[in-house]
Amino acid sequence: MSKQQFEHLWMPFTANRQFKSQPRLIKAAKGMYFTSEDDRQILDGTAGLWCVNAGHNHPKIVDAIQRQAATLDFAPTFQMAHPLAFEAATALAGITPKGLDRIFFCNDGSEGVDTALKMALAYHRVRGDAGRHRLIGRERGYHGVGFGGISVGGIAGNRKQFGPGLAGVDHLKHPLDIDRNAFSKGLPQHGAELANEFEQRLLALHDPSTIAALIVEPIQGSTGVIIPPRGYLQKIREICSKHGILLIFDEVITGFGRLGSAFAADYFDIKPDMIVLAKGLTNAAVPMGAVVCNTSIYDSFMQAAPPDAIEFFHGYTYSAHPLACAAAIASIEVYREENIFQAAADMASYFEAAAHQLRGLPHVKDVRNLGMVCGIELEPQVGKTTTRAFDVFHRCFWEKDLLIRTTGDIIALSPPLIISKAEIDCLFGRLAEAIREQAA
């Protein structure tokens, strides 16, 4: 590609000028591998962006999308519909936790988060409890880039350019505690008591009767794989239930097998009131998001409005887009037919052991993991945060044929769930080389 061809695209979450000076381009993908522009097979250590859980270009999903594109390109879902919209919702409801089976479709995780927040506020209102107008998130939470999502999210960089955001939002502390929990395998031992801060500080400050919902990622992915301490999420659930506060699990990353079960809600055996999904919902082949809510939330809306009235003034032109529905149905079938969630559960201990082999490498100050996700935190270079991990990322891509993801000085790995033991060895072997060479 010529230099001019890079001018027009303003890339998302990218250092545009740095990227365009040495573009990292992918032109194809299959299974566990990307093909780079210069024809190298790049092992995908990140499932794209935590989303291609069944591996790239799965033939069944490709076929479903191709057939659908030639049959029905688009149909509105405002006061109209097409059968696949209902089929996709039914397929999804077939794997969501019991009781969480009403589905609202959108196009990505950010829309899913904003949909869930609006649904929570409106739910209290339709029940005559409109005083519940506050939304609580967590520090270092990532909930996409809508105004709702950045407001309940807890990442300064994503908030500081955009004004005050939603009013009435507050945040819990995040539970990362490297001093006490470094190199934990699975759920960290220490920190469940941090959940009490919800009741003791935030509810005491705002009064529970003003709080509509708490939104949390079961694992905080984007800010560096923060695993909840043992018992923490259970306490969060108890506090929400005690005070009539809706609990929203943002499972955009943890949904569809990342922890070795369909959802983190299953893994932790906790029932949130709503789950936000995207990414793995279509194996990332077509953008799609969804909010799954419990039956009683849906029923409250239905009962509050006259029978011929719109119950929830919300939706997107592309809610339940036919191509996305076809991809979702096919993906859910693939997950089931190929037992992909169980494969992830079976591989998790091998993945964990391989990840913790990195302990002791130069500048590695923590390795943390759960299911098929792990974070490797590096000591930052003095006065230059992010540069060490970025250097490792760069080496991995150009010299090791490996795609990893970094955030700050943390490397996050979340390969497609079809990864083999040999590929896990390869992934961590190449990463170890890059970490050593960076330090040299």
Residues near ligand PLP (CB under 6 A) are 108-110, 113, 142-144, 217, 221-222, 250, 252-253, 278
Minimum distance, C-beta of residue 12 to ligand PLP, in the bound complex (Å): 9
Task: Identify the CA nearest to 46 among candidates 253, 206, 230.
Answer: 253
Environment class of 365 (CB within 10 Å of its CB; exposed 0-12, middle 13-18, buried 19+) = middle
Beta strand 246-250 with 100-106 is unpaired
Q: How far apart are CA 191 and CA 301, in angstroms?
A: 37
Minimum distance, C-beta of residue 33 to ligand PLP, in the bound complex (Å): 22
Minimum distance, C-beta of residue 350 to ligand PLP, in the bound complex (Å): 25
**Residue partners of 121: CB distance under 8 A and separation at least 6:** 132, 133, 135, 212, 213
Minimum distance, C-beta of residue 250 to ligand PLP, in the bound complex (Å): 4
Task: Give the HSE-up count for residue 362: Cα atoms under 13 Å, Cβ half-sphere.
Answer: 12
When CB distances to ligand PLP are compared, the closest residue is 109
CB of 216 or CB of 347, closer to ligand PLP: 216
Minimum distance, C-beta of residue 68 to ligand PLP, in the bound complex (Å): 21
Minimum distance, C-beta of residue 242 to ligand PLP, in the bound complex (Å): 25
Minimum distance, C-beta of residue 284 to ligand PLP, in the bound complex (Å): 9
CB of 113 or CB of 211, closer to ligand PLP: 113
CB of 115 or CB of 184, closer to ligand PLP: 115
Minimum distance, C-beta of residue 23 to ligand PLP, in the bound complex (Å): 21
Minimum distance, C-beta of residue 395 to ligand PLP, in the bound complex (Å): 24
| 281 close to 256: Cβ distance less than 8 angstroms | yes
Minimum distance, C-beta of residue 175 to ligand PLP, in the bound complex (Å): 15
CB of 13 or CB of 313, closer to ligand PLP: 13
Minimum distance, C-beta of residue 302 to ligand PLP, in the bound complex (Å): 27
CB of 225 or CB of 334, closer to ligand PLP: 225
Token pair belonging to 334? 């693939």
CB of 104 or CB of 142, closer to ligand PLP: 142
CB of 122 or CB of 252, closer to ligand PLP: 252
CB of 143 or CB of 235, closer to ligand PLP: 143
For 160, 217, 388, the CA distances from 383, given in Å and listed in that order, are 21, 30, 11
As a three-state string, the secondary structure of the chain is CCHHHHCCCCCCCCCHHHHHHCCCCEEEEEECEEEECCCCEEEECCHHHHCCCCCECCHHHHHHHHHHHHHCCCCCCCCCCCHHHHHHHHHHHCCCCCCEEEEEEECCHHHHHHHHHHHHHHHHHHCCCCCCCEEEEECCCCCCCCHHHHHHCCCHHHHCCCCCCCCCEEEECCCCCHHHHCCCECCCCCCHHHHHHHHHHHHHHHCHHHEEEEEECCCECCCCCECCCCCHHHHHHHHHHHHCCEEEEECCCCCCCCCCCCCHHHHHCCCCCEEEECHHHHCCCCCCEEEEEEHHHHHHHHHHCCCCCCCCCCCCCCCCCHHHHHHHHHHHHHHHHCCHHHHHHHHHHHHHHHHHCCCCCCCEEEEEEECCEEEEEECCECCECCHHHHHHHHHHHHHCCEECEEECCEEEECCCCCCCHHHHHHHHHHHHHHHHHHHC
Minimum distance, C-beta of residue 253 to ligand PLP, in the bound complex (Å): 5
